[in-house]
Amino acid sequence: MKFLPMILKHLRHNWVRSSSTVLALSICIFLFCTLQTFVKAVNWNLKSANASRLITRHRVSLAFNLPVSYKQRIATIPGVRSVVATNWFGGAIPGRPFKDFFQNMAVEPESYLAMYPEYILPEDQKRAFLQDLRGCIIGRKTAEKFGWKIGDSFQLESFIPPYRIVSPVQIRTSCSSNGNISTRPPVSAQE
């Protein structure tokens, strides 16, 4: 303890060097923690991902679709068990700020649910989703955020030109899931 006053006096005397050292150590600790978190997140994603699934998309953006003929060509590749087409619909709720945007995809319902068994749905809700062309699966957090319940209807208006139609697409919630949202727009939006 007798050296403490001398140490404090020395630190005050060279305050630029002392603060630089503290700042450098703080940055090192921050970077180490951030990179460790990133590595753990990547490892968790690799462990939880299904290694038998491969996603193919247009090289420019999700907004551009692959040619329909590619589905058959991909299905003929040895080792491919099934092919499912999904389209980025890009729907937003009309009149709401863009911060309320959520992911929504148009899917082929039967084959999509077969390929993604992690969507665990009660059988009656699954049937309702498959029978209703305006049906969608909504994650629990999204449903709570917007106050939607099973059977509610809402509108989505796409900001992607091929999907823009005269009026917004009417969507009906068929079921709720712990997963992400998947939607299937009605036939009129696919024309």
Task: Give tens-digit pLDDT for 22-72.
Answer: 999 999 999 999 999 999 988 887 776 667 777 888 888 877 888 889 999
As a whole number of angstroms, the distance between CA 176 and CA 137 comes to 6
Domain ranges of the chain: 4-48, 69-190
Angle 4-13/15-48 helices, nearest 10 degrees? 90
As a whole number of angstroms, the distance between CA 174 and CA 186 comes to 14
As a whole number of angstroms, the distance between CA 28 and CA 82 comes to 47
Does the pLDDT of residue 1 top 80, yes or no?
Answer: no
**Global pTM value:** 0.60
Does the pLDDT of residue 183 top 50, yes or no?
Answer: no
Of residues 25 and 160, which shows the higher confidence score?
A: 25
